[in-house]
Amino acid sequence: MGRNSTCGCAMGLSRRRFLAGAGAAAAGAGLGVLDFASSLFAQEAKPAGKPVVRVVYVRPEKEPIVSWPGGNCDVPAQQALFTKTLQDAAKALDIELQVRDAPLYKPEEVAALLEELKKSPPDGLLVGAMSLFLWQPVNDIVAKRGDVPTIVYSHVSGFTSHLQLARNMPKTYVGATQDIGWLAFALRMFHTTWRMKNTRILVLHGAGPDTTLKAWGTTLHPIAKARFAEELKKVEESDEVRAIADFYAKNADKVVEPTKEEILTAARNYITCRRLMEAEKCQAVSIDCLGWKDPVCLAFSRLLDEGIPAVCECDHNAAIGELLTISLFNRGGFIQDPSPNTVNNTLIGAHCTSPLKLEGIDKDYRAPYMLRSYHTRTGCSVQALWPVGKEVTVLHANAGSPSFFVGTGRVRSNIAQPPTGCCRTSVELDMDRCNDSRDVKGFHQLFILGNLERMFRAYAQLAGLQAAPIA
């Protein structure tokens, strides 16, 4: 695969021609090349440019023996480890990392940093608080750094009194933990704020001017819904289309209703979504798709598994939630219609699509699934089976305000059809801290595998958002 891809690019093939070639190879070679071809699209669908994050370390040149971290710690080596962790994460996220290696603690050094931040504010500032006796410079930086989103990282270098710093200050988060790997998530939070502001969501409903969601900075780019049918007609039954259809049919636990032609059309829908986003320079898609004869359910499932926000029914709240979830956790969420079960006091969420890579886009796990028909009893949709007993986060973002609702639950069951009639992927949750499941706020909330509530709340603190309980 690596040799072929290198040869293809060296010979000057266009990206689209290369994708077609990769799809042809996939027909004979299986999922590996197919995923590689799609990953090229996912990479190019990301916003142009990169965020800038500055890193400084507040500590003396020589740490006192009686202190934290103290004389029993090789402080320069500790700082080097922090920097290496940040550099690795920045490379993976495509962040421009500007690290000051020299320790910063003198008043004139703090003043110089603040002046630099004023003249050229970065997308994020990470302050490594590395000494128990040098928290005042940290306090000064946080108080005077302007509007720059700031994270203070304390690796067991502060007591309770120190860590009250900026506890309720917007766009400031104090990450106090001995977990050095957490620094990667710190950078992901910075990257998320930048990505929210630099993403264009393709909205297929009706043509009109672009609008920006002021609370998030995300751009909505509307086009006529008829464009989808026009583009779909141009998508031939190529090797790539057949490879996609073949993969989903062969790996399904069962193909219940869809015909071969309907599965092929579902694969063509995926190519259509890709082409429209490419043509319109967008990095996400939402379609007024309710009631379509040949739905985009399988296409959206695949896009979510590639890290591309794909949202049903032109729901802007869900689109923001999906973009936020993928950016923060590298996994898609399941948009659903909520239906409380008052007998069990549970929440049933149902829709005709779901991501399959529930543990993460970069993980091997794919949820088991069946291929089913859609509401119209035609076409191909996905019935994903969620892992019973696993924790789930429930999120409802508000596109019109800088806020979201968040809570947690646990998968109780997957709803069988028949005898139940509802959307194909149908997941029942036991909700945490919920006396009545009818109290769960929002509609088209996202179910996201894993207990991510604290990390969502951390991001809200950093981004200046309001996070409220979902029930």
Element (H, E) at 83: helix 75-93
**Amino acid identity at 279:** A
| Reported CATH class of domain 52-195 | alpha beta
Helix axes 31-44, 239-251, angle to 10 degrees: 120
- Measured CA to CA, the distance from residue 139 to residue 121 in angstroms comes to 18
- Name the E strands within 225-329: 254-255, 284-287, 310-312
Average pLDDT for consecutive 10-residue bins of the chain (471 residues)?
Answer: 34 37 44 60 82 98 88 94 98 98 97 98 98 96 97 97 93 98 98 98 97 98 97 96 96 98 98 97 96 96 97 97 98 98 98 97 96 94 98 98 98 95 95 98 98 98 97 97
Q: Are 157 and 132 in contact (CB under 8 A)?
A: yes
- Measured CA to CA, the distance from residue 8 to residue 16 in angstroms comes to 12
Residue 32 confidence (pLDDT): 62
| 360 Cα distance to chain centroid | 9
**Parallel, antiparallel or unpaired: strands 218-224 and 334-335:** unpaired
**Amino acid identity at 366:** R
Task: Output the DSSP codes for 24-67.
Answer: HHHHHH-HHHHHHHHHHHHHHTSPSS--EEEEEEE--SS--SSS
**Parallel, antiparallel or unpaired: strands 334-335 and 310-312:** unpaired
Pick the closest to residue 117 from 92, 81, 143 (CA basis). 143
Q: What is the CATH number of domain 199-469?
A: 3.20.14
Structure tokens at 238: 């190529």
* pTM of the predicted protein model: 0.92
Q: Are 353 and 297 in contact (CB under 8 A)?
A: yes
Q: In the block, which residue shows the tokens 């957490």? A: 182
3-state secondary structure at position 347: strand
Residue 6 confidence (pLDDT): 33
Query: What ranges do the domains of the chain cover?
Result: 2-44, 52-195, 199-469
3-state secondary structure at position 204: strand
Residue 375 confidence (pLDDT): 85
By CB neighbour count within 10 A (0-12 exposed, 13-18 middle, 19+ buried), where does 107 fall? exposed
